[in-house]
Amino acid sequence: MQRTSVTILAFWLFLASSLQAQLSLNPLNWFDGDDEDVAALNIASAADESEAAAMLETGQAKLEAGSTGSANRTFKKIIKRYPNAEATGDARFYRGKIYITKGRWGKAFENFQEIINSHPNYEEFDRVIGAQFDCATALMEGARGRILWIFPGFKQYDKSIQQFEQIVRNAPYSDYAPLALMNIALVSEMEEKPEDAIDALDRLINYYPQSMLAPDAYYNMAETYSNLVKGAEYDQGSTRQAISYYEDFLILFPQSNYLGEVESNLKSMEDLLARSRLNLGDFFYNYRTNNTAALVFYNETITIAPETEAAAEARLRIADIEAGVKPTSGASILRKILTD
């Protein structure tokens, strides 16, 4: 038994000494291998870098000479053969620009995205984001792809939203992020998707309060909620939200050119909300003969918008109640509505 233990110990000592001799205890020596070792670390060898750079120059020359197709094939070879080379980032960028000239906005965007995914230290990062923004904007403005490279395809508004969202994720601290969110809101409104527009504007307001687009975001948010209002007879949640954003706008941007329009819209929303309270007061006064509840809603009408017609009508109703005037019966009111 003792002899077996000594044999095992000797084996492990021999193995450890062999590994030490091969690898060395110095971590810097771990990288002194052949090209396969370097490739395993996703780093191009010096030879690959040189060859990729030379091919890139060839592709650029072809592009400048107007041989777009041949240049594109050269850039494609660089990407395939030397995926980790520094020149490959430029090759992808040139391919993306070529696709833009052909109106292939989706393919162009994908090439630019590959730069961001595979070359995080790419020096022209801002140019890549700008090119992606151009692709998304083209789709937002109605650019179409091609079916079988011949027939015009469909407009791709949903695709533009996806691309703008990707831009926000790619560069959340860039000037393009609030622009992308605003465009998402505009496209969503155009596509009659107010919930998506509200979400984009809410992010713009909360994440980029210092952006030059902040006033437009508040204004558009108020307008979006205003457009959701169906009338005084319906739930007034959207009306209250619109009022809130109009009020915030007046406080935050008192020098805006929109000031007069915002004040007018705010007054309109307040009048609508006040009239909804007036209607509830009339319901309790005329149909339920509950003067206490009616007075609550009439007073709310006056508090919400004291200078409106709704407030004037509420004051008349309050005066009638205090004078003991009995309300018109529900049946008489219904006949009046039908005859009118």
Q: What length does the chain have?
A: 340
Lowest mean pLDDT among 18-27, 95-104, 190-199, 273-282: 18-27
Most confident of 26-40, 252-266, 323-337: 252-266
Q: What is the DSSP letter of 65?
A: T
Are 171 and 133 in contact by the 8 Å Cβ rule? The answer is no
Are 263 and 310 in contact by the 8 Å Cβ rule? The answer is no
- At residue 145 the predicted structure's pLDDT band, cuts being 50, 70 and 90, is low
Q: pTM for this one?
A: 0.78
Are 138 and 108 in contact by the 8 Å Cβ rule? The answer is no
Q: What is the DSSP letter of 236?
A: -
Average pLDDT estimate for 31-43? 47
pLDDT tens digits along 46-76: 888 889 999 999 999 999 998 999 999 999 9
Lowest mean pLDDT among 141-145, 150-154, 155-159, 285-289: 150-154
Distance CA 305, CA 172 (A): 41
Q: Take residue 48 and report the two structure tokens written for it.
A: 């690959």
| pLDDT of 335 over the 80 cut | no
Compute the chain's Rg from CA coordinates.
Answer: 34
pLDDT tens digits along 112-136: 999 999 998 899 999 999 999 999 9
Domains of the chain: which residue ranges?
40-102, 112-200
Which three-class secondary structure state does DSSP give residue 124? coil
Average pLDDT estimate for 216-225? 97
